[in-house]
C-alpha cells in the first residue's frame, strides 16, 4: 500500500514538471515569434493601452497589411476577413499581461500545429546570385516581393531582364554590387 501511494506521488510530481517537448526548439514557429515580436514592439512604440480589446483591434489592423507567410499566420489565428476560426484572444489576453511571445506561440502550437509549421522563404542575395540559374518560380517571387509583375513575359530571359531593369529601384545595393563585378 505504501509503495502504491509513493508511486502516485511520483507520478503527480512528474505531471507538474513541464516537459521539454512543450518548449519551442530553435527556429521553430519562426513566423509566429517574429510577427508577434514586431507586433508587441509596435504596441509599445505607439503607446497603445495593453487591454485585450485594443490589442485585438490593432492585431486585425496589422494583419490587413501582412503578406506571404505572415498573412497565412493571420489567417490561422483569425486576423483576416476570410478566416474560418478566431483565436485572437489567445494572443491578445497574454499580450495584455506582457507574456513573452515565445510562450504565446507555444500555446498557439497546442491549439493549431500549422501555426508553427510556417517558415519564411529563404531570401535570395541579389548581389551575388546568378539569375540565369534560378527557376522562373523564384524570379516571379522576387518580382512579387517588390510588388511588381511582368506582363508579357513568356520566357526566363524576359523575367531576368525585368528584374535587372527594376533592381536599382528596389535593391540599389545589389544593383551596385552587380555592376562592380
Give the distance from CA 141 to its chain's centroid: 17
CB atoms within 10 A of CB 67: 11
Instruction: Give me the residue spans of the domains in the chain.
Output: 30-117, 131-177
Q: Which of 80, 75, 73, 65 is nearest to 32 (CA)?
A: 73
Per-residue pLDDT tens for 10-57?
Answer: 444 444 444 445 677 777 889 999 999 999 999 999 999 999 999 999
**What pLDDT, on a 0 to 100 scale, did the predictor assign at position 175?**
84
User: Could you tell me the CATH superfamily of domain 30-117?
Assistant: Saposin-like (1.10.225.10)
Report the chain's mean pLDDT, rounded to a whole number. Answer: 85
**What pLDDT, on a 0 to 100 scale, did the predictor assign at position 60?**
95
Amino acid at each position: 500500500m505504501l509503495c502504491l501511494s509513493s508511486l502516485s506521488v511520483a507520478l503527480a510530481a512528474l505531471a507538474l514538471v513541464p516537459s521539454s517537448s512543450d518548449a519551442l526548439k530553435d527556429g521553430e514557429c519562426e513566423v509566429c515569434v517574429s510577427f508577434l515580436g514586431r507586433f508587441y514592439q509596435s504596441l509599445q512604440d505607439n503607446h497603445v493601452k495593453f487591454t485585450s480589446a485594443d490589442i485585438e483591434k490593432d492585431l486585425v489592423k496589422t494583419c490587413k497589411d501582412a503578406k506571404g507567410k505572415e498573412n497565412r499566420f493571420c489567417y490561422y489565428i483569425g486576423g483576416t476577413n476570410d478566416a474560418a476560426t478566431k483565436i485572437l484572444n489567445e494572443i491578445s489576453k497574454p499580450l495584455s499581461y506582457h507574456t513573452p511571445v515565445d510562450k504565446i506561440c507555444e500555446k498557439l502550437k497546442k491549439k493549431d500545429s500549422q501555426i508553427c509549421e510556417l517558415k519564411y522563404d529563404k531570401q535570395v542575395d541579389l548581389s551575388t546570385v546568378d539569375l540565369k540559374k534560378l527557376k522562373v518560380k523564384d524570379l516571379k517571387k522576387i518580382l512579387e516581393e517588390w510588388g511588381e509583375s511582368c506582363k508579357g513575359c513568356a520566357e526566363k530571359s524576359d523575367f531576368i531582364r525585368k528584374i535587372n531593369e527594376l533592381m536599382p529601384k528596389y535593391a540599389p545595393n545589389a544593383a551596385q554590387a552587380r555592376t562592380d563585378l
